[in-house]
Chain A
Amino acid sequence: MPNKTFFWFFLPTGLAMILFIGLPIISTGIQSFYAQHDQVVKEVKKCDPFGCTVSIVVDQEKTSKIREEKPLGKFNGFGTYVDRNHLAIEEIGKFWNETNSFGEFVDQVTNLPFYKALIFTLTYCLFVTPNVLLLGFIIALSLNAVTRRIRGPLIFGTILPMIVTPLVGSLVLFWMIDAEGIIGANLQMLMDDPYLSLKSSKTLTWITIIIYGIWHHSPFAFVVFYAALQTVPQEPVEAAIIDGASRWQRVRHIVLPHIYPVVTFVALISLMDNFRVFEPIIGFSAEGSAQSLSWLIYDNLVNEEVILFGSAAATSMMTIVGIAILLAPVLIRTWKEFRTAR
């Protein structure tokens, strides 16, 4: 296709992506270097018969004026990146000097908001992604062994957790697991602990959200693996059966190598999706004990008094760096393949 024709065909979608994905990333980058204005204060002298007192109050008029003039805020350089709510360089240095043991130091650091969120996000990715692959593969193998006639409805039932939006999916589970729901109430009875509830324990909350993640993402892995299983050639499988290979050996040495490229694809996609975990935290009302990077940004953006653009943008930029690190191996591999293909 000639360049000119390509240009006109691609222009609308390209423009949409540049304007609403490319530019916002740049805009986020710029915003991250600014911070909201401090409130302008003035001294007010108040005199009564007993003498004069000077008090400091916020000058509302001047504050709103300066906010109107420079809505982006004041230039802050990398200030937002290193402040207490983000990388907290200063605080970490302080903790390093003040704490006695390494355990205590780690404890202090992981209580800082950014590191807390980072650790939750990574833990979530680390536990959900492999389990999604495993469960999805097992379901695909199982369903593949079922008579063809009843597979349709079974597949429909299997993909339900995936097609609902994460907020709805987590709410539906939350209403069952909560202390007043069917599973929560029975657990209380079983454990004989009337105060056992999701909100009371951080570990329980984390486990619940991770289980939710596996429940929500496994159907996607299932669908892809199931389709890939349909393309496994019959002859080697039959040859292996004649040679006396066990079922496990067949899966290990014929099926798995055949669908290996698909496994990496699913792993990549679910890693990308898990890294942005956010809605389940709202659905499970777990803000107290589990915060993710995306949730931190959301929290800044829905701030009541003044939207913390700078803070949200700084966290966003660091999230994007995280995504880049996740994607780097794939991009490098694609680049190498592309070069050898030429």
Chain B
Amino acid sequence: MEYGLDKRSNALKIFNTTFIIVWLLVACFPFIWTFWGSFKVRADFFSRADWWYAITAFNTLLETGGKFTTDAYSQAWTEGEFWKASRNTVIVTFFVVTISLFLGTLGAYALSRSTRNYAFWILIAALIFRAMPHITLVSGYLFPFFQLQIWGILPTTIVVLVAINQPFTLWLLYSFFKTVPKELDESALIDGCSYFQAFRHIIMPVMWPGVITAGLFSLMLAYNDFTVTALLLNQENHTMVPKIQSYLGTNQHEGNLMWAVSAVVSATAPLFMLVMFFQRQVISGLTAGAVKG
């Protein structure tokens, strides 16, 4: 929004620029600092003597002979079995995204094309489900899952995450489907298509932006989840986030805190790259429900 009539005073311009720079520093510096520190040894990044060591790499030089070291990474990925955790994360994320989108597009399409009262009530129920703290749901799962002996394995967690994700996916895709004109599928129906054929061949091809946005959010939910994965998976099947927490628990061991630091960087980097690539979709997704609806 650049107003032709609007002249900004210099003071305001300076204030604005300063504010943005300060905010960006607050928002980004912690990540830059952690990334930098992950290539140091523990005595430098968590220095008891002098925090300046983190920059001069005093102990890193002493211990490894170089200013930067990738020891924390190689140890966490091999000894710390972070490779297993990241493999589990990839499996969980892939299936959660695929199943969520499959169920979500079907359901949201039906909701957007129904004119009955119950469609409205289903959306309200989904909103209430969206508000449930995940930990309260987990406290409901644990006991039945123990009894059915399906606790601890990846498929259970995938199904649970899909279900938890549905309310948000439904709302998001619903607002996207609403923007696709009804005449499009109605003409297909008149031409003799079934609802499913119209959905599959007419509507889905124009829905890709919405599907990508919904997919990104499912991905972020599955990738970032801690509550469900920490409590529903056994040690062996832990994904990345609970794995990072487990490195914190064994604090006494010298290397482990640096494992956590390098694991945090390893887990965050792909996410940042993804968001950098799909920034437009993330923002349109966050605002779809708010601005259009």
Q: Which B residues are CB-close (under 8 A) to A142?
A: 16, 19-20, 23
Instruction: Report the separation of the CA atoms of residues A75 and B124 in the bound assembly, to the nearest whole angstrom.
Output: 34
Contact of A185 among B30, B31, B34, B47 (CB under 8 A): B47
A201–B176 Cα distance when bound, in Å, is 48
Q: Is the CB of B8 within 8 A of A145?
A: yes
Interface membership of chain B positions 37-64, coded 1 if the CB is closer than 8 angstroms to chain A and 0 otherwise:
1000000011110110010000000000
CB of A172 within 8 A of CB of B137, answer no
- Asked whether B135 is an interface residue with its Cβ less than 8 Å from the other chain, the reply is yes
- For the complex formed, measure the closest distance between the CB of B96 and the CB atoms of chain A, giving whole angstroms: 12
Among the listed B46, B106, B264, which residue makes an inter-chain contact with A178, where contact means beta carbons less than 8 Å apart?
A: B46
Q: Which chain A residues lie closer than 8 Å to B23 at the CB level? A: 139, 142, 158
B82 interfacial by beta-carbon distance below 8 Å = no
Contact B137 A21 (CB under 8 A): yes
Instruction: List B residues 195-233 near A (Cβ within 8 Å).
Output: 195, 199, 220, 223-227, 231
Contact residue among B111, B124, B135, B226 (Cβ-Cβ distance under 8 Å from A297):
B135
A301–B107 CB distance below 8 A? no
Residues of B within 8 Å of A232, CB to CB, are 1
What's the least CB distance linking A84 to chain B, in Å? 19
**CB-CB contacts below 8 Å: B122-156 with A:** 122, 124, 126-144, 146-147
Chain A positions 322 through 335: 1 when the CB is less than 8 Å from some CB of chain B, otherwise 0: 01001100010010
Q: With A5-B110, A181-B46 as given contacts, are A167 and B245 in contact (CB-CB < 8 Å)? A: yes
- The reply on A58 being an interface residue by CB < 8 A is no
Tell yes or no: A138 within 8 A of B by CB. yes
Interface size of B as a range: 35 or more
Q: Which residue from A3, A215, A293 sits with its C-beta under 8 Å from B26?
A: A215
Looking at chain B's contact residues, is the secondary structure mostly helix, strand, loop, or mixed? helix
Query: How far does the Cβ of A51 sit from chain B's closest Cβ, in whole Å?
Result: 47
Whether A20 lies near B131 (C-beta < 8 A) is no
Asked if B6 lies at the interface with its beta carbon under 8 angstroms from chain A, I say: yes
Chain A at the B interface: mostly helix, strand, loop or mixed?
A: helix
Query: Could you count the A-B residue pairs with CB atoms below 8 Å apart for me: how many are there?
Result: 276
Q: Check if B33 sits within 8 Å of A176, measured CB to CB.
A: yes
Contacts of A144 in B (CB 8 A): 1
Q: Are B47 and A180 interface neighbours, CB within 8 A?
A: yes
Contacts of B124 in A (CB 8 A): 331, 334
Assembly CA distance A279 to B232 (angstroms): 16
The 0/1 profile, CB within 8 Å of B marked 1, for residues 1-26 of chain A is 10101100110111011011111111
**Nearest CB in chain A: distance from B78 CB, A:** 22
Residue A242 is within 8 A (CB to CB) of chain B in the complex: yes
Number of A interface residues at 8 Å Cβ cutoff, please give it. 106
Residue of A with least CB distance to B283: A223
Contact of B264 among A16, A171, A309 (CB under 8 A): A171
- Of the candidate stretches A39-47, A91-99, A101-109, A148-156, the one touching chain B is A148-156
Q: Is the CB of B140 within 8 A of A1?
A: no
Contact A5 B137 (CB under 8 A): no
- Kindly state whether residue A276 has any CB partner on chain B within 8 Å: yes
Interchain CB contact (< 8 A) of A313 among B28, B120, B139 = B139
List 16 A-B residue pairs with CB atoms under 8 Å apart, sorted by A's residue number.
A1-B110, A6-B114, A16-B163, A17-B163, A160-B28, A165-B226, A215-B26, A224-B290, A228-B287, A232-B1, A278-B135, A285-B248, A298-B135, A316-B135, A316-B139, A319-B136
A sample of 10 more A-B contacts (CB under 8 A), given A9-B199, A164-B224, is A9-B195, A10-B110, A156-B279, A175-B34, A181-B46, A223-B287, A224-B287, A234-B1, A262-B291, A309-B139
